[in-house]
Amino acid sequence: MKRHTTIPAGERARAGGRFALGDADRERLAARLQLAVKRARRSGRPTLATLTLALPAEVDPSAVVCASRRPGEPWFLFEQPERGAGALATLGQAVRLTAAGPERFATVADRWRALAAAAVSDPPDARGRSGPLAVGGFAFAPDGGADPAWAGFEPAALVVPEIALTREGHAPDSEGAALPDAAGVRLTLCALAAPDDTAEQLLARLRERLAELREEPLALLDPAPAGRYRIASAMPPEHYEAAVARAVEQIRRGELEKVVLAREVDVHAPRAHDPAAVFGVLREAFPACSVFCVGRGEASFVAASPELLVRREGHRVSTLALAGSMRRSADPAVDDHLGEQLMHSEKDREEHAIVIRRIERTLRPHALWVTATPEPALVKVANIQHLATPIRAQLAQPLDAIELLELMHPTPAVGGEPLARARPLIPALEGLDRGWYAGPVGWADATGDGEFCVALRCALLRGTMARCYAGVGVVRDSDPAAELAETEVKLQALLPLLAG
């Protein structure tokens, strides 16, 4: 995502491989590490040091990370195939920023801002960016993820990785076709220098890490897996229908406008799920989505999310109101008819309008202007279509990406309206710990820019167990059986991949 003046990749390759440091790069990195150690000793606080290198455009960041990750270490993949093929993939942990409770966004934002401001990094590029990244996510609830299945996924958890590989999304030409980014792929090395560290030790550690990088294609899912798979709802379907009915009663009594209720479905496999293989299929099958995988210990959280929560680029903010859903059909005529039904559904348009109003109301006090398209569009992904309204704003005051998350999360697309009434109702009716489901997942950089999507169409993989999640927005005219059926459609994004 950043352009830097670096030693060409070809010269490094001649010096010992695609990922090897050439003499000039090694000297630059050593100098930055020495300065970081000096600052750490002077301030008494650990200091980040980074170096960014150019790699050939054909390098697949996600494939390198999946082939090179160490057992149990944090890793992260985030791709948007149709948005210029942008990709971010990271390995390891220089720093881990965690927090819990109502102030978790502010706590993590403050710590990240302080670390980024003191970092010894490349000078800003033409877009004003340089230095380290923080990647990860947040639970839906302030103290979400207490269920042992979510171990390692704290209520707020961002990692500053040792290695980050980034591929900038291609810019469109005059006819809308993607143009290749001349900068190709970039690799950023990052170390945290403590007062008692030496530059030599840190340099040796990073060079060892580089030596472990490998280029191998992503693993493939077994097309004919052996063994028995078992799929089971955490709660009986009747429980979900009853929860929807109780929510409708409260909405009709005027206690709230909308509440989103989710289900959890478990897939028990005869052998461990392969998150790299699942990710590879998702990025092929859902190119219009943000496809991600967050690895923590022995678990991985994978998703193909259609919903952008926050994209911050300088003073510009983009988000997407996504609410109202309909299944798809393999018959184009039927598929178009279903889309027309969705566009004219009074129930779905009401649900969608609630989300737009809240987002606009949230952004206006902090913006010079907020604008939304006058009519929603249809967003069609592999198995479902949604009503979607892009919303943009120009900030009137400097708010970084994580501060914007605190304002925006959760929108009524995954929470409810009004939130104060919906928030306690959700766990009471669902009877589950959402963990990171419906929470923000993405990245932030040292300038305050960043991008986070909402964790939807997702599954938590841990050994032979996969927990899949899907929810629907309940409004006055919701029918319990129809809402249950909608969750089944949404679950089809991942269940076929996980259940053989």
Q: What is the mean pLDDT of residues 343-358?
A: 94
Q: What is the CA radius of gyration of the chain?
A: 23
The pLDDT value given to residue 125: 63
Residue 181: pLDDT band (50, 70, 90) is very low
Residue of 2, 154, 162, 258 with catalytic role: 258
Least confident of 288-292, 379-383, 448-452: 379-383
Percentage with pLDDT > 90 across the chain:
84
| For residue 2, pLDDT beyond 80 | no
| For residue 195, pLDDT beyond 60 | yes
The pLDDT value given to residue 123: 74
The pLDDT value given to residue 170: 58
DSSP 348-370: HHHHHHHHHHHHHHHHGGGEEEE
Structural domain spans, the chain: 9-168+183-211, 230-498
Q: What is the mean pLDDT of residues 454-483?
A: 96
| For residue 124, pLDDT beyond 80 | no
Residue 81: pLDDT band (50, 70, 90) is confident
The pLDDT value given to residue 174: 34
The pLDDT value given to residue 129: 58
Which backbone phi and psi does 88 adopt, to 5 degrees? Answer: -135, 130
Q: What is the mean pLDDT of residues 275-280?
A: 96
The alpha carbon of 353 is separated from its chain's Cα centroid by a whole number of angstroms, namely: 25
Least confident of 50-59, 90-99, 151-160, 430-439: 50-59
**Could you tell me what percentage of the chain is helix, strand and coil, using 3-state DSSP and rounding each to the nearest 5?**
30, 30, 35
- Number of Cβ atoms within 10 Å of the Cβ of 226: 8
Q: pLDDT tens digits, residue range 292-316? A: 999 999 999 999 999 999 999 999 9
Q: What is the mean pLDDT of residues 471-483?
A: 94
The pLDDT value given to residue 234: 87
Tell me which residue of 493, 447, 420, 436 sits closest to 151, measured CA to CA. Answer: 436
Q: What is the mean pLDDT of residues 154-173?
A: 85
The pLDDT value given to residue 465: 96
Least confident of 209-223, 247-261, 407-421: 209-223
Q: pLDDT tens digits, residue range 90-106? A: 999 999 999 999 999 99
Residue 172: pLDDT band (50, 70, 90) is very low
Q: What is the mean pLDDT of residues 338-360?
A: 94
Respond yes or no: is residue 258 known to be catalytic.
Answer: yes
Q: pLDDT tens digits, residue range 317-334? A: 999 999 999 999 999 999
| For residue 339, pLDDT beyond 70 | yes
The pLDDT value given to residue 480: 97
259 within 8 A of 416, measured Cβ to Cβ: yes
3-state class (DSSP) for residue 152: coil
Residue of 162, 168, 264, 307 with catalytic role: 307
* 230-498 under CATH 3.40.640.10, yes or no: no
Which backbone phi and psi does 403 adopt, to 5 degrees? Answer: -65, -40
Report the chain's mean pLDDT, rounded to a whole number: 91
The pLDDT value given to residue 210: 95
The pLDDT value given to residue 126: 53
